[in-house]
């Protein structure tokens, strides 16, 4: 007889693509999952997956099992919420993944307020340098920047530009760049985020004529200092160690306080909009839908950094 644990195993295996990744998602060992797979195939009397040294794919019977498992799990997870919906209560586990800095400052307080409205809910906020990869087992992923995976449904939360900034003390000593190419003569600070080419900065001159293509400029910087932690790079910039390219949400408060100065304001960089991602492969539950509505409302009027 197939159990709920079997269904969760099949769903995780489909979602992650390998036994080792599914083991991490389910917090068990790969050998344990390998034994579960053999047992499940034996009970069903059919092969579920075809494995080679490099790849794993589902058989036609396995694909049907995955489809049924996803549908059944969605119904089981939604059942407590369906029973409690008359009282407006949301229950169950809500898994949210967000970037470290943005998640700490902007998402954590929202999660706390949402939990106060729904105390029976069990929110779990995971902060990560790479939310997308860490969000394999998440209900909602907060992402900043370019989207590369069309299998996720994106909900825009806030517009977010990228600014080049430096401290007033640094600019007084080194001069104020007037053109992106001038950055080649300056100390630049780089944040290594995700798998982006972070040393190639693309600019486009702002144009008042929206129907006319604005000239673009690309500059390959040679970082004087680099880190995978945005807060570290931001502090280096405040200390006067060079020019940094950072999201508006992070830089704007420092510019308002005078700790940093925005430069090259006649040019714009590719935006890094803030979005909430929901896996399209899952039926959206009442708790996820409720959180998404609450989340959008928090950013509805204008972003807190503007």
202, part of any domain: yes
- 56, 83, 110 - which closes a domain: 83
Portion of the chain with pLDDT greater than 90, in percent: 40
- Can you give the pLDDT at residue 108? 97
24, part of any domain: yes
189, part of any domain: yes
CATH of the domain at 260: 3.40.190.290
Identify whether residues 154 and 279 lie together within a single domain.
yes
Indicate if the pLDDT at residue 156 is higher than 60: yes
- Can you give the pLDDT at residue 252? 95
Q: 138: domain range?
A: 89-160+273-299
Query: Minimum mean pLDDT among 26-30, 120-124, 159-163, 242-246: which range?
Result: 26-30
pLDDT tens digit string along 47-78?
888 876 667 788 888 888 887 887 777 777 66
Of the pLDDT bands very low, low, confident and very high (cuts 50, 70, 90), residue 30 is confident
CATH of the domain at 35: 1.10.10.10
| Mean pLDDT computed over every residue of the chain | 85
- Can you give the pLDDT at residue 24? 84
* Between residues 270 and 297, the one the model is more confident about: 297
pLDDT tens digit string along 93-136?
899 999 999 999 999 999 999 999 999 889 999 998 878 776 66
Query: What is the mean predicted confidence (pLDDT) over 76-89?
Result: 60
305, part of any domain: no
Identify whether residues 292 and 153 lie together within a single domain.
yes
CATH of the domain at 124: 3.40.190.10
Identify whether residues 225 and 286 lie together within a single domain.
no
Identify whether residues 26 and 45 lie together within a single domain.
yes
Identify whether residues 121 and 183 lie together within a single domain.
no
Of the pLDDT bands very low, low, confident and very high (cuts 50, 70, 90), residue 86 is very low
- Can you give the pLDDT at residue 78? 63
34, part of any domain: yes
Identify whether residues 48 and 174 lie together within a single domain.
no
Q: In DSSP terms, which residues pair with 124 in a beta bridge?
A: 95
Number of structural domains, the chain? 3
Identify whether residues 64 and 127 lie together within a single domain.
no
Of the pLDDT bands very low, low, confident and very high (cuts 50, 70, 90), residue 81 is low
46, part of any domain: yes
- Can you give the pLDDT at residue 163? 94
Portion of the chain with pLDDT greater than 70, in percent: 87
Identify whether residues 136 and 207 lie together within a single domain.
no
Of the pLDDT bands very low, low, confident and very high (cuts 50, 70, 90), residue 41 is confident
134, part of any domain: yes
- 83, 112, 128 - which closes a domain: 83
- Can you give the pLDDT at residue 212? 56
Listed in sequence order, the residues at least 6 apart from 281 whose beta carbon sits closer than 8 Å to its beta carbon are 15, 70, 151
Of the pLDDT bands very low, low, confident and very high (cuts 50, 70, 90), residue 149 is low
Identify whether residues 107 and 126 lie together within a single domain.
yes
pLDDT tens digit string along 207-252?
665 555 567 788 999 999 999 888 999 999 999 999 999 999 999 9
Q: How far apart are the first and last CA of the chain?
A: 57
Identify whether residues 153 and 167 lie together within a single domain.
no
Identify whether residues 166 and 265 lie together within a single domain.
yes
Indicate if the pLDDT at residue 194 is higher than 90: no
Identify whether residues 264 and 277 lie together within a single domain.
no
């Amino acid at each position: 007889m197939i159990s709920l644990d079997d269904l969760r195993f099949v769903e995780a295996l489909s979602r992650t693509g390998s036994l080792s990744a599914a083991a991490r998602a389910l917090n068990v060992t790969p050998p344990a999952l390998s034994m579960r797979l053999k047992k499940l195939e034996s009970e069903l009397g059919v092969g579920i997956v075809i494995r080679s040294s490099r790849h794993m794919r589902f058989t036609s019977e396995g694909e049907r099992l995955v489809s049924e498992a996803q549908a059944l799990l969605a119904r089981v997870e939604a059942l407590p919420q369906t029973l409690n919906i008359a009282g407006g209560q949301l229950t169950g586990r809500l898994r949210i993944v967000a970037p470290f800095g943005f998640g700490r400052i902007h998402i954590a307080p929202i999660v706390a307020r949402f939990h106060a409205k729904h105390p029976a809910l069990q929110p779990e906020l995971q902060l990560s340098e790479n939310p997308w990869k860490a969000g394999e087992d998440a209900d909602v992923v907060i992402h900043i920047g370019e989207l590369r995976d069309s299998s996720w449904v994106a909900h825009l939360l806030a517009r977010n530009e990228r600014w080049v900034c430096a401290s007033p003390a640094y600019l007084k000593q080194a001069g104020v760049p007037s053109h992106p190419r001038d950055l080649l003569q300056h100390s630049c600070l780089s944040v290594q985020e995700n798998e982006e080419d972070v040393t190639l900065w693309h600019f486009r001159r702002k144009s008042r004529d929206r129907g006319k293509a604005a000239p673009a400029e690309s500059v390959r910087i040679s970082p004087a200092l680099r880190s995978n932690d945005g807060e570290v790079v931001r502090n280096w910039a405040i200390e006067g160690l060079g020019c940094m390219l950072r999201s508006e949400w992070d830089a704007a408060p420092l510019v308002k306080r005078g700790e940093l100065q925005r430069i090259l304001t006649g040019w714009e960089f590719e935006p890094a909009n803030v979005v909430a991602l929901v896996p399209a492969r899952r039926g959206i539950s009442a708790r996820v839908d409720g959180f998404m509505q609450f989340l959008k409302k928090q950013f509805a009027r204008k972003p807190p950094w503007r």
